[in-house]
Amino acid sequence: MLFRPPLRTGTFKLTALVTAVALALGPIATAQAQQGKGPPVLRDTESEQLLREYTRPVLRAAGLEKQNIQIVIINESAFNAFVADGRRIFVNYGALLQSETPNQIIGVLAHETGHLAGGHLAKLHEQLAQAQTQMIIAMLLGAGAIAAGARSGAGNGLSSAGAAAISAPQSVIMRSLLSYQRQQEENADRAGVKFLTATGQSPKGMYDTFKRFTDESLFAAHGADPYLQSHPMPIDRVQALEVFAHASPYWDKKDDPALQLRHDMMRAKISGFMERQDTVYRRYPLTNTSMPARYARAITTYLHGDLRSAIAQIDGLIQVQPNNPYFYELRGQALLEGGRPVEAIAPLRRAVQLSNSAPLIEMLLGQALVASDNKAYTDEAINILRAAIARESEAPIGFTQLAMAYGRKGDYAQADLASAQAAYLRGDNKTARDLASRAKTRFAIGPPGWVKADDIVSAKPMPGEKNN
């Protein structure tokens, strides 16, 4: 199941920030991110599993295999990937959709791994701390000159000198920071190629991706000051990358056909869920009878209300690949969202079985059991949802469905607690605290449920987060 944000949240646009914090995080700015809620993410077992397989050998080569690095898919159609901390690589769904081969997106992930392996974020924070100190000193000196000019009656002389004292150092410091970041980008390129070579993979996809962006950005970069860029100038970067990428003995190595098919299936799934129906049919016309094309068309058919046709198309996919868990997952999701939860249970049980009990699919099964309105399923739903949450604790839908199941059972203390946990994960701290406070009154003092509720009530808000 591809868990999409509610339609009211929409997607967001990437905008370049010129603040010190933004230099550390990269060009990611949205209203949600600035409020501490972070950018909206997409969750999908099939896509996440494939990305884990893409990154595992690269992380091993980088010495980060045991660091539990996560890949997070961002609900944004632009081609972009970035790291914002030391434990996650963020990649836009647009990057997955636009990468025609596994090797292309693996190259991007290898580059981001280079940032993690080099400790670039921590080092950049150090540079920023130093820069902030220098900026403060410069601003104090400049302000002092302005004040002195005003007291002495020197007019615009000292005041202008003070203004220059404020602006000039900031410009120099900013150039120094950007130079440092450009060097980090070059180091990440080199590290990415090194990791790909160490794992017997071609760096050609990485080179092709950056080359494509170079060709697209040549006009925009014309006349730009190379010293005011956070990344190397496009031509310089590609020329440098070409030299050491071509030196790899695996330059001409192709992706395995089976892996290419899985990659194409992931892209088709993203297209089906995230693109307009007419766009999907242009990308995958009826004349295209490949599995990815049929997958995308089945998804967009069910999303746009033709459930009967969609189920027929999904059944056709199952006939070709009867052991593909994601086809059963899709069948169950379509039936569930089509108002037929009882019929969704059987295919979702099969999907859970074939996926080795993937937590997100278990949550979908739990949702179907709860939505069936059959009290005989309540205990099963609770057991399945608790097991899923134990392995995937950052998906609000799991707690939301668990709250509904406990409510059906009349266990309102656990229902309030689960609702509070769901609200907390959504970043709605006020609602989370209100529900957790009510849960505390329903629990006896001391048991695990009371302690969890108390933790939520006592939790400090994230920086910039609103409590109401």
Instruction: Tell me whether residue 54 is in a domain.
Output: yes
Domain edge (last residue) among 274, 301, 336: 274
Instruction: Tell me whether residue 328 is in a domain.
Output: no
Same domain, 307 and 244: no
Q: Flag whether pLDDT at 268 surpasses 70.
A: yes
Same domain, 75 and 96: yes
User: What average pLDDT does range 397-401 have in this prediction?
Assistant: 95
Q: Flag whether pLDDT at 71 surpasses 90.
A: yes
pLDDT tens digits, 111-155: 999 988 876 455 545 544 554 544 444 445 554 554 555 555 555
Q: Nearest Cα to 298, choosing from 335, 344, 323?
A: 335
Same domain, 267 and 280: no
pLDDT tens digits, 413-425: 999 999 999 999 9
Q: What is each CA distance from 93 to 48, 80, 211, 261, 336, in whole angstroms?
A: 11, 9, 20, 18, 25
Instruction: Tell me whether residue 465 is in a domain.
Output: no
Q: Nearest Cα to 330, choosing from 354, 372, 308, 361?
A: 361
Q: Under the phi-then-psi rule, with left for phi > 0, alpha for psi from -120 to 50, and beta for the rest, what region is 90?
A: beta
Same domain, 182 and 282: no
Same domain, 201 and 282: no
Instruction: Tell me whether residue 180 is in a domain.
Output: yes
Instruction: Tell me whether residue 467 is in a domain.
Output: no
Q: Flag whether pLDDT at 57 surpasses 70.
A: yes
Domain edge (last residue) among 274, 307, 328: 274
Same domain, 32 and 163: yes
Cross-strand pairs, 74: 41, 92
Same domain, 263 and 284: no
Alpha-carbon span 198 to 432, nearest angstrom: 47
How long, in residues, is the chain? 468
pLDDT tens digits, 363-398: 999 999 999 989 999 999 999 999 999 999 888 999
Percent above pLDDT 70 for the chain: 71
Give the 3-state secondary structure of residue 70: strand
Identity at 328, one-letter amino acid code: Y
Same domain, 171 and 306: no
Q: Flag whether pLDDT at 299 surpasses 60.
A: yes
Q: How many domains does the chain have?
A: 2
Cross-strand pairs, 90: 72, 82
Alpha-carbon span 153 to 18, nearest angstrom: 36
Specify whether the CB–CB gap between 403 and 385 falls below 8 A: no
User: What average pLDDT does range 98-121 have in this prediction?
Assistant: 88
Same domain, 68 and 118: yes
Same domain, 128 and 27: yes
Instruction: Tell me whether residue 383 is in a domain.
Output: no
Same domain, 84 and 111: yes
Instruction: Tell me whether residue 463 is in a domain.
Output: no
Tell me what pLDDT residue 224 has: 37
Tell me what pLDDT residue 14 has: 23
Domain edge (last residue) among 287, 319, 351: 319
> Tokens 């189920």, residue?
311
DSSP state letters, 268-281: HHHHHHHS-HHHHH
Instruction: Tell me whether residue 167 is in a domain.
Output: yes
Alpha-carbon span 243 to 255, nearest angstrom: 22
Same domain, 144 and 288: no
Q: pLDDT tier at 86 (50, 70, 90 boundaries)?
A: confident
CA torsion sign for 94, 100, 101, 107 is negative
- Tell me, rounded to whole angstroms, the distance of Cα 256 from its chain centroid: 26
Q: Which domain holds residue 170?
A: 1-274
Tell me what pLDDT residue 157 has: 54
